[in-house]
Structure 1
Amino acid sequence: MKLLCICDPSLYTSPLQDVPTTYQYFAQHDQIELFHAPAEWVNDPHQVQAAVVPQFLTYDQFLQLDTLPRSRYALSEFDLVFCRRLKPFPPGYLDILGQWSQQVRFVNDPVSKQEQMQPDFLAKIAGPYIPDTLITSEFEDAYRFLEQHQTIVAKRSNSCGGRGVFKIWREAGQFWVDNSLTGTRDFSTFERVMGYLMGNVPEPLQLVRYLENVTAGDKRVVVVNGEIYGAYLRQSRTGYWVNNVSVDGDCALAEVTPEEQEAIAGTVGAYCDRNLHTLGYDFLLDNDGIWKISEINAGNIGGFARLQTLTGKPICDRLTNWMLDYARNLKPSERA
């Protein structure tokens, strides 16, 4: 299989992260010929510049992949494209990939990815399985939601690792907003809060009731084509409300509860029907002790290499065997 992986190596600061590890695994696999392209090379709707990845790839070599000699390839030369680019996506990136999808098969279809990134998509697909949620860019609606729940979380769609997630509450006559990257800020009016959260992005925010049990951890369940590969719990070492590993989270193997299995079964078909096959379900513990969906990630989801380390099971083999079958059994022009 000729596999094209898209990522930006400089964004991965540890050799233990999922992308460097899976790159190394794919490079050594005897049924895979691995090619690499960073997002900046995604600039032509009909062809791609790509570099051949060496078979025995060290982490230092991974960091230097963008400097390797590159050649131009017709998209039809590849059997499968696996996008491992972290959000935020550059302007026009998904649009060009959408044109590619008419010529080559993707692990996760970029046209459907654009649909999935819309702020209201999760609420439409997973409404019964998520906490109280409001999708809005309107000041008055957002303020009523804050008044109702006292503490809320605002999420931006084109972000990852907790960077676009903000905790909002009112205290001592001021409005407070906390973010793992920018820290805590106070505002005299809620109108200024909304201006800060919206920035120059016109799309609505996803507002969610804050869950008091968030310090119990953020559970990632890795799902491929409807099959649960396993789960692990990310938990902040300092008790911070954001549990991402990119902040200060540690990971431990976790069980998938019956309620989580039900939530996955009730939602995964909508993603598979859209050719979104590798999914990272994130669950948070609600006040009633039930784990609720906080996100369903369908972009560059992590967890394959981490699950393999935590379980000692050949998770990367399982993923690769599915990818080989998927590339072999479906024609690039076939789309749901």
Structure 2
Amino acid sequence: MTDPNNNGYTGGNSNPYGQNGQSGYGQNYGQSSNGANPYGQPSQPAYGQQPGANPYGQSPYGQTGGQTSGSPYTQNTNPYGQPGSNPYGQPGAQPSPYGQPSANPYTQNTNPYGQPGQPGYGQQPPMAPTPQYGGQNAYSATGEPPLWAPWYGISFPNAIVRFFKKYAVFHGRASRSEYWWWFLFSAIIGAVFSLLSSATDGSTIIEGLEGIWNLAVLVPGVALAIRRMHDANRSGWWVLLPYGLIVLAIIVMLLGGGAAFWAAAGNGGVGSGVSSVGLIIVGLLLMIAGGITSIVLYIAPSDPQGARFDRPNA
């Protein structure tokens, strides 16, 4: 449509200043007749419209990645140009302040300074395995503990071999099976000597061999008894208690026998005979008490605190 006076102020598809394709003052800034911006830039929206694209033609910081069709402040686009990542350039979960992603340095089993596998500040370090009776975890390939350690559940032949291997070892510990297997073996040997002595009418050779045997096992027998006390967490001096009672019983019985002999010789009255019988009875009671005390001490259960008597490097 053309103004009759050719002034160009009415609507038409021409600019009043002679630029074709631009709207005049009577048109809406956002919509010209040919869809152009009133300032001569086609396909750009005016200031009063909600555009389908960013009004400046790009993301607010010069980036074209991400979504640019909406407000630059409501889109899920990182302002630094890395889509889908946190603002510090590391994708995924929020990193640990010490460079390890997704790990709290105070609750995870990760060292906060980048050394994996070590506990953090809030963690208790793993406990080391507790050795059973201070050395039972040091078994050899054959299941035998080291010589300095007690052997729980030892067999009969191994107990005899171990007895002589630790001939004069007074430190360390010995299990109940070590002690009582040896006690059984010693009783068997004593019975064999008794049978041989009876069969040979008290042959001096048999008696001599029995004496040699008793002397040979005296020291290792005392050492084994002391180690058994250690295994029950007792001092080795407890070995003297039953032996002391037995020795005292023998002394009392000897005194009673001497008093009886003195009375039978006519050197004493009835009182002397009664006192001698009383001494013999007391001696027998002490003998029984010594035997019971010995059994009670040597059947005592093992106590792990007895490991204080061990000497692994001895």
Q: Same fold (TM over 0.5)?
A: no
Q: TM-score, normalised by structure 1?
A: 0.22
Higher helix share: 2
Larger strand proportion, structure 1 or 2? 1
Q: Which has the higher contact order (CA 8 A, sep 6+)?
A: 1
TM-score, structure 2 length as denominator? Answer: 0.23
